[in-house]
Amino acid sequence: MSRSKIIDKGDLTLAQLNRDLWLQVDTNLLTAEAKAVYLKRKEAIDHYVENEKSQAEIYNLTGVDRKNLIRLYTRCISYDPYGVPWGYRGLIPNKKLKPYELNPRSRKFNESRKTGEFALLLEKHPKISDEIENLFFGRKKLSEPVMRPKYIHKKFVDKCKELEIPRSEYPFNTEHLGYRALCRHLENLRDKHFGKASSRYGHDAEQKAKNSGIGQQNYPRTITPYQDVEFDGHRFDGIWVITIKTLEGDDAVLTLDRLWVLSFIDRATDNIIGRPHISLNKEYNATDVMIAAKKAVMPVQKMNLTIHGLSYQPTGGYPSERFKDIEWAVWDVIHFDNAKSHLAEMVRERLRNLIGCATCLGAVDKPMRRPHIERFHQTLTSSSMQRMVNTTGSHPEDPRRKEPEKMAMRYEMTFEHLEEILDVVVANYNGTPHGSLFYNSPLEALEQRLNKGMIPRLLSETKRSEFVFTQVEQPRTVRGSHKSGKRPYIEYMGVEYRNDLLANSAHLLNTKLSLHVNVDDLRTIRAYLPDGSEFGLLVAAGKWCLTPHSLQMRKAINILKRKKLIHFTQWDDPIFVYHEYLLTQAKTKKKRVANHIAKTKQVMKKREEEKNSDLDESLAAEQASISALEKAREQQAKLQTAKANTPTSHRRFKTITRW
């Protein structure tokens, strides 16, 4: 064979022809004898490719004859299993470049040796190979999800019998019926199909194997604060309780269903950019997402701690608390997964029109695309929640899980305590040095970036209201009638809304208004005319305007009223009636009802706090009117009671007739 037929072959690629692209060999790892042989071979190949010496001269210099030279060069330009030319690696003495293949027709064939028989069997019977792979990777619906090798071997033998392989042939002519060869084949399958094989070790391993560690790893790192943030919800690994007063006046402790914590983290500095939101719902919804966003944007103030010994670190805190220049700071891009609450219309509309950010939805079931928030939740769980006596652990068999419900009730680990603990843990997290930040704390890293002029975008002052975060737009028609004498009103979720202006605007009857509804507080609704001008704030009728309540709570009350499970008049506060109903149900449905009771306690607590604050004029006027009506009603009731208790005397008059 001439040299030109090897080197100048038209189908050779640049990776095969260019020796600079060949993978090298570390000769220090070879034995002295193997190193000497390798160096002679390398010298011969270099002369052969450079075309400076004849094959006779190459033989005189290196001892590599023509036949061996062609064989070695063919090894160098052949491809390895990964599609890369072997290059200089093909010159290593005794290196096998391709797996052993049994050839029964060869003169060297030894019937006593079974090497290669298994591979030959699979090549001859592809159905056996398919059966083994299906069982190993759990592709068959009726098979075990993770079948062990000894059970795969049993199926392998059954398949061989099904194909009527003679008992005198492999695998029936071996001592263990090919079991050891099958195990080696399964190991090769595991190594060759890493992602698929990882499913045998659990869902988490499969996720990481299929979605990380491959492709371009040098992604550009975000260094500008608030340029990219990540959001996600995490289920608390612990049981908490609430204390209630029963209708009989006794104290009782109820366990809550497991709660959710919702957090925002800055990719550039690893700061948790606002106080995390705790959701009492079974699954957090779109309203919870926007409440968490509101807490991330609005300035944060430290809580008044009631737990003895619990304190904030001097270096900890929140970005808006430590740096006044970035109060009301907002982000440019938000990254989260495809949870239904993230895809809700309210979330997408508020993020686009209020925050003014772009949304990056991660692929389904790929948490590694949001590594910062996932790592924070892992740290939060391992360093705090799973160290408490009320922890549920990471799985049912976790040794740290020791009757969490009893422990939570025994030590009265209440929901209020959870709020304080979570706030302190997160604030201290922001002040703790991180290895990824070269042992700067997130707050220190943020301070350095701010000093370099990397100031994030701030929310417009016209939008700095806590109500706009949970606001949705709903069209409603003005109702009313001259015939019945009912003044104009708007009905939303079974409750009438009006103000003095609407009550005297009969010309708006049957006109469709645009309502801006705060789904977290339905006491008031802001109305806009069809031309876009603001009409004013409409207030809920009756005592619906007294206690803050969400859309979800309003729906629950309406359902119970429709089923005639609760009843209230215009003189009753529906939220308190709903709370009393939940207390009656707490005896039988503890966990499910306890979360609802906790939510009603929150809104009633908010009402108490609002008594000392300035309310909106319309809301304050309506509440003052209700208060005056209540006093008048109480006064009337007292008068009626006094009148009923006053003894009555009857005079009898006698008629005298005079003649």
Q: What is the DSSP letter of 114?
A: -
Contact 341, 289 (CB under 8 A): yes
Cβ neighbours of residue 285 under 8 Å, at least 6 residues apart?
A: 279, 341, 344, 552
pLDDT at 658 (0 to 100): 43
Contact 233, 377 (CB under 8 A): no
How far is 329 from 352, CA to CA, in rounded Å?
15
Q: Which residue has the higher pLDDT, 620 or 548?
A: 548
Cβ neighbours of residue 200 under 8 Å, at least 6 residues apart?
A: 136, 137, 138, 146, 190
Q: Convert the pLDDT of each residue in 475-525 to its tens digit.
A: 999 999 988 899 999 999 999 999 989 999 999 999 999 999 999 999 999
- Virtual CA dihedral for 382, 388, 393, 396, nearest 10 degrees? 170
- Tell me: cis bond preceding 171? Omega within 30 of 0 counts: yes
pLDDT at 357 (0 to 100): 94
Overall size of the chain counted in residues: 659
Which band of pLDDT confidence, cut at 50, 70 and 90, is reported for residue 621? low
How far is 332 from 459, CA to CA, in rounded Å?
11
How far is 222 from 228, CA to CA, in rounded Å?
7
**Arithmetic mean of pLDDT, 8-37:** 85
What type of residue sits at position 2? S
Which band of pLDDT confidence, cut at 50, 70 and 90, is reported for residue 244? confident
pLDDT at 610 (0 to 100): 72
Residue 2 tokens, joined: 């001439």
Q: What is the DSSP letter of 355?
A: I
Domains of the chain: 4-91 (no CATH), 117-211 (no CATH), 228-461 (3.30.420.10), 468-618 (no CATH)
Contact 188, 127 (CB under 8 A): no
Backbone φ and ψ for 271, nearest 5 degrees, come out as -80, 135
Contact 518, 539 (CB under 8 A): no
Residue 297 has a CB neighbour count (10 Å cut-off) of 24
Cβ neighbours of residue 294 under 8 Å, at least 6 residues apart?
A: 466, 469, 470
Name the one residue in this structure whose structure tokens are 């009492």: 280
Burial of 467 (0-12, 13-18, 19+ CB in 10 A): middle
**Arithmetic mean of pLDDT, 411-428:** 93
Q: Convert the pLDDT of each residue in 67-76 to its tens digit.
A: 899 999 989 9
How far is 222 from 451, CA to CA, in rounded Å?
17
Q: What is the DSSP letter of 603?
A: H
Q: Convert the pLDDT of each residue in 254-312 to its tens digit.
A: 888 889 999 999 999 999 999 999 999 989 999 999 999 999 999 999 999 999 989 99
pLDDT at 6 (0 to 100): 53
Backbone φ and ψ for 119, nearest 5 degrees, come out as -60, -40
- Taking alpha carbons only, the member of 264, 304, 289 closest to residue 423 is 304
Q: What is the pTM of this model?
A: 0.74
Regarding beta strands 358-361 and 333-336, do their DSSP bridges make them parallel or antiparallel, or are they unpaired? parallel
Residue 35 tokens, joined: 């190193």
pLDDT at 492 (0 to 100): 95
How far is 406 from 349, CA to CA, in rounded Å?
44
Q: Convert the pLDDT of each residue in 554-593 to its tens digit.
A: 999 999 999 999 988 877 889 989 988 888 887 775 667 8
pLDDT over 60 at 386, yes or no: yes
Mean pLDDT lowest for which of 241-245, 294-298, 316-320, 584-588? 584-588
The distance in angstroms from the start CA to the end CA of the chain is: 168
Average pLDDT, the chain: 85
pLDDT at 4 (0 to 100): 45
In three-state secondary structure terms, 14 is: helix
Mean pLDDT lowest for which of 126-130, 261-265, 441-445? 126-130
- Taking alpha carbons only, the member of 376, 396, 398, 397 closest to residue 387 is 398
How far is 289 from 284, CA to CA, in rounded Å?
8
**Arithmetic mean of pLDDT, 615-623:** 63
Residue 261 has a CB neighbour count (10 Å cut-off) of 22
pLDDT at 118 (0 to 100): 86
pLDDT at 15 (0 to 100): 83
Q: Could you give the C-alpha distances from 505 to 479, 483, 502, 538, 616, in angstroms and in order?
A: 11, 16, 5, 13, 22
Q: Which H or E run contains 522?
A: none
Strand partners, 238: 391
Name the one residue in this structure whose structure tokens are 């570390």: 26
Mean pLDDT lowest for which of 43-57, 159-173, 217-231? 217-231
Mean pLDDT lowest for which of 50-54, 432-436, 544-548? 50-54
pLDDT over 50 at 651, yes or no: no
pLDDT over 60 at 110, yes or no: no
How far is 163 from 121, CA to CA, in rounded Å?
12
Q: Which H or E run contains 303?
A: none
Query: For 128-146, b where at least 16 C-beta lie within 10 A, e where not — what string?
Result: bbebbbebbbeeeeebeee
Which band of pLDDT confidence, cut at 50, 70 and 90, is reported for residue 546? confident
Q: What is the DSSP letter of 434?
A: B
- Taking alpha carbons only, the member of 130, 122, 137 closest to residue 178 is 122
**Arithmetic mean of pLDDT, 94-102:** 79
pLDDT over 60 at 219, yes or no: no
How far is 478 from 489, CA to CA, in rounded Å?
6
Cβ neighbours of residue 175 under 8 Å, at least 6 residues apart?
A: none
Q: Which H or E run contains 358?
A: strand 358-361
Cβ neighbours of residue 498 under 8 Å, at least 6 residues apart?
A: 487, 488, 489, 490, 538, 539, 541
Q: Convert the pLDDT of each residue in 33-57 to its tens digit.
A: 999 999 999 999 999 988 878 888 9
Cβ neighbours of residue 224 under 8 Å, at least 6 residues apart?
A: 268, 449, 454, 456
